[in-house]
Chain A
Amino acid sequence: MLGTEQSQAEYFFERVLQQTKSIFHHNELILSVTISLCDLKVRLEFARANFAAQFLNAIAHLVIPHEVEPDYLVQIWSETEVGLQMPKILGSYADIQLRGDIPNLSNGEIKTAYFSHSRTLNCINLKTRVAIVCAKSFEEIPAFEVACPLRAIFSWILQANNMTFIHAAAVGNKQEAILIGGDSGVGKSTTAISCLQLGMDYLGDDICAISLKNNTPHVFSVYSSAKIMSQAQNQFTFLRPYQADLRTHVGTPLEKQVYFLAKMGHIANTKRLIKAIVMPSFKKPESSMQPFPKGEAARILSISTSTLIPGSNAVYLALAAQLTRLTPVFELNLAHDFDKNYASIQGLLNAATA
Chain B
Amino acid sequence: MPKYDPQSQYRINAPNIVGEKFDEEVVLVNLDSGIYYSLRENAAQIWQLLTLGYSLAQMTDLIQKHSSEAPNSIAIMLGNFVDQLIEQDLLVPAKLPLIEVDESFFNAAKPFTAPTLEIFADMQDILLLDPVHDVDEQGWPIHTKNLNN
Which among B29, B127, B141 has the highest number of chain A CB atoms within 10 Å? B141
Find chain B residues with CB under 8 A from A299 CB: 27, 36, 38, 120
CB–CB B140/A89 < 8 A? yes
CB–CB B132/A98 < 8 A? yes
CB–CB B123/A298 < 8 A? no
Question: B61 near A: Cβ within 8 Å?
Answer: no
Question: B22 near A: Cβ within 8 Å?
Answer: yes
Question: A293 near B: Cβ within 8 Å?
Answer: yes
Question: B122 near A: Cβ within 8 Å?
Answer: yes
CB–CB A117/B131 < 8 A? yes
Q: Report the nearest B residue to A90, measured CB to CB.
A: B140
CB–CB A114/B141 < 8 A? yes
Contacts A299-B36, A317-B27, A321-B27 given; does A98 touch B20 at CB 8 Å: no
The 4 closest A-B pairs by CB, nearest first: A295-B25, A295-B22, A321-B20, A117-B131
Find chain A residues with CB under 8 A from B136 CB: 93
Find chain A residues with CB under 8 A from B6 CB: none
Q: Report the nearest B residue to A318, measured CB to CB.
A: B20
Question: A230 near B: Cβ within 8 Å?
Answer: no
Q: Which of A230-267 contact B (CB under 8 A)?
A: none
Q: Report the nearest A residue to B130, measured CB to CB.
A: A98
Find chain A residues with CB under 8 A from B36 CB: 299, 302-303, 313, 317
Q: Report the nearest B residue to A295, measured CB to CB.
A: B25
> How many A residues touch the partner, as a band?
35 or more
Contacts A293-B24, A295-B24 given; does A306 touch B38 at CB 8 Å: no
Please, how many angstroms separate the alpha-carbon atoms of A94 and B136 in the complex? 9
CB–CB A295/B130 < 8 A? no
CB–CB B25/A314 < 8 A? no
CB–CB B123/A294 < 8 A? no
Please, how many angstroms separate the alpha-carbon atoms of A298 and B141 in the complex? 35
Q: Report the nearest A residue to B136, measured CB to CB.
A: A93
Please, how many angstroms separate the alpha-carbon atoms of A89 and B139 in the complex? 9
Find chain B residues with CB under 8 A from A4 CB: none
CB–CB B29/A295 < 8 A? no
Q: Report the nearest B residue to A183, measured CB to CB.
A: B122
Question: B137 near A: Cβ within 8 Å?
Answer: yes
How many Å from the CB of A262 to the closest CB on chain B?
A: 29
Q: Which of A150-181 contact B (CB under 8 A)?
A: none
Interface residues contributed by chain B, number (CB under 8 Å):
31
Find chain B residues with CB under 8 A from A216 CB: none
Which among B25, B29, B123, B133 has the highest number of chain A CB atoms within 10 Å? B29
Find chain B residues with CB under 8 A from A117 CB: 131
Question: B101 near A: Cβ within 8 Å?
Answer: no
CB–CB A296/B141 < 8 A? no
Find chain A residues with CB under 8 A from B40 CB: 295
CB–CB B135/A96 < 8 A? yes
Q: From A98, A100, A115, A302, give the contact of B29 (CB < 8 A).
A: A302
CB–CB B24/A93 < 8 A? no
Contacts A116-B141, A303-B36, A307-B123 given; does A93 touch B135 at CB 8 Å: yes
Contacts A294-B23, A314-B29 given; does A98 touch B34 at CB 8 Å: yes
CB–CB B25/A293 < 8 A? yes
Interface string of A290-312 (1 = CB under 8 A from B): 00011110110011101100001
Q: From A92, A119, A293, give the contact of B143 (CB < 8 A).
A: A119
Contacts A295-B40, A303-B120, A303-B123 given; does A313 touch B137 at CB 8 Å: no
Find chain A residues with CB under 8 A from B139 CB: 88
Question: A136 near B: Cβ within 8 Å?
Answer: yes
Please, how many angstroms separate the alpha-carbon atoms of A324 and B22 in the complex? 9
Question: A9 near B: Cβ within 8 Å?
Answer: no
CB–CB A114/B27 < 8 A? no
Q: Which of A76-109 contact B (CB under 8 A)?
A: 86, 88-89, 91-94, 96-100
Please, how many angstroms separate the alpha-carbon atoms of A254 and B14 in the complex? 43
Contacts A293-B22, A318-B20 given; does A298 touch B27 at CB 8 Å: yes
Q: Report the nearest B residue to A313, measured CB to CB.
A: B29
CB–CB A317/B38 < 8 A? no
Find chain B residues with CB under 8 A from A136 CB: 141, 143
Find chain A residues with CB under 8 A from B141 CB: 86, 88-89, 93, 114, 116, 119, 121, 136
Interface string of A65-83 (1 = CB under 8 A from B): 0000000000000000000
